[in-house]
Structure 1
Amino acid sequence: MEKSNKTGKTFKVRSFTVERGKIKEFAMAIGDENPLYYDVGAAKEQGFRDIPIPPTFPTVIEMWSGLDFETLIRELELNPLKVLHGEQEYEYFDDICAGDEISCTAKVISHIEKRRMNFITIENQFSRDGKIVLIARSNIIERNE
């Protein structure tokens, strides 16, 4: 059964203040022991304003800002039993560090049906003080059978 095309659909997301504790929790969860994610002094020695986020931390920002898996399933009318997270990419334009207030806009930029599957690409633009600091793209695949 063909779904209505979701290209152009936007999502409501809240702003997120990046916290040192969340960075530390995330680094611990992924097993990254780099002192950069635990110690302000180590971060500043390497030229950061404060503790920077690990490269895949934007997932935390998305989830705590309201763009969690449950929201995507509901808003895109997906069957969670037939969904696969196909790909994730991050394009950084500036550092994101503890203390930064990050705003996010999320939009479906592509929805293609082929070979009995839906391929949906969501683009999130993360901004600080009105300047885009990161673009994240996520590809979701849903089987139609």
Structure 2
Amino acid sequence: MIDRRFVGAALRPYTVTVERERLIRYAAAIGLSAAAFSDLGAARAAGYPDLPLPPALLAGLERDEPGDFLAKMGVRLTDVRHVEQGFTHHAQVHAGDVLTFAPVITDIRVRGPLRFVVRETAVTRAGEPVAELRQVILVPAGDEAFGGEER
């Protein structure tokens, strides 16, 4: 069941290769009209080695969805809500980069009948920091959210 003993739990790291076509689709979907986000020649002319990744897309590359770690805590996924997301960026990412995501449960806060689970993910490229991602998930207390009595 969900409790503070999960704080500090490191989830399995994984790698993602940034795909050029995904960057092009994302840029179009959010209305980035600058050619550097969709045309390799324009990106190189702007000084990039390949298409640059819009920073918010890092969250979209996170493969380890909240359900993976919440299910291990005994939480029913139909009862959770996404509350907050944040990013700290250290380096520009480009198409072709291989990124490693290393998520950790950094906090579980209790506010009355609510539990807030905080997951922070370090993103690196060849061992160098690229970004830190932060996500807060709301888990309501109660038998239906926890699949039984909460501890």
Q: TM-score, normalised by structure 1?
A: 0.86
Taking the aligned partners of 1:141 and 1:34, their CA distance within structure 2 comes to 37
- Percent identical: 23
Give the total of aligned pairs. Answer: 141
Taking the aligned partners of 2:28 and 2:139, their CA distance within structure 1 comes to 31
TM-superposed CA distance for 1:45, in Å, is 2.9
Q: What value does the CA root-mean-square deviation take over the aligned residues?
A: 1.8
For structure 2, the residue ranges without an aligned partner over 5 or more in a row are: 143-151
1:127 equivalenced with 2:124 (yes/no): yes
- Residue 148 of structure 2: aligned partner: none
TM-superposed CA distance for 1:110, in Å, is 0.7
1:101 equivalenced with 2:98 (yes/no): yes
Taking the aligned partners of 1:120 and 1:38, their CA distance within structure 2 comes to 36
**Deviations, residues 81-103 of structure 1 (Å, cap 9, x unaligned):** 22111111111100000111111
TM-superposed CA distance for 1:69, in Å, is 4.0
Taking the aligned partners of 2:132 and 2:73, their CA distance within structure 1 comes to 21
Secondary structure of the 1:125 match is strand
- Residue 3 of structure 2: aligned partner: 4
For structure 1, the residue ranges without an aligned partner over 5 or more in a row are: none
Q: TM-score, normalised by structure 2?
A: 0.83
TM-superposed CA distance for 1:104, in Å, is 1.1
**Deviations, residues 7-27 of structure 1 (Å, cap 9, x unaligned):** 111211321111101112222
Secondary structure of the 2:24 match is helix
For residues 1-145 of structure 1, the aligned pairs below 5 Å read 3-5=2-4, 6-63=6-63, 67-145=64-142
Q: Contact 2:27–2:33 (CA<8 Å) still a contact in 1?
A: yes
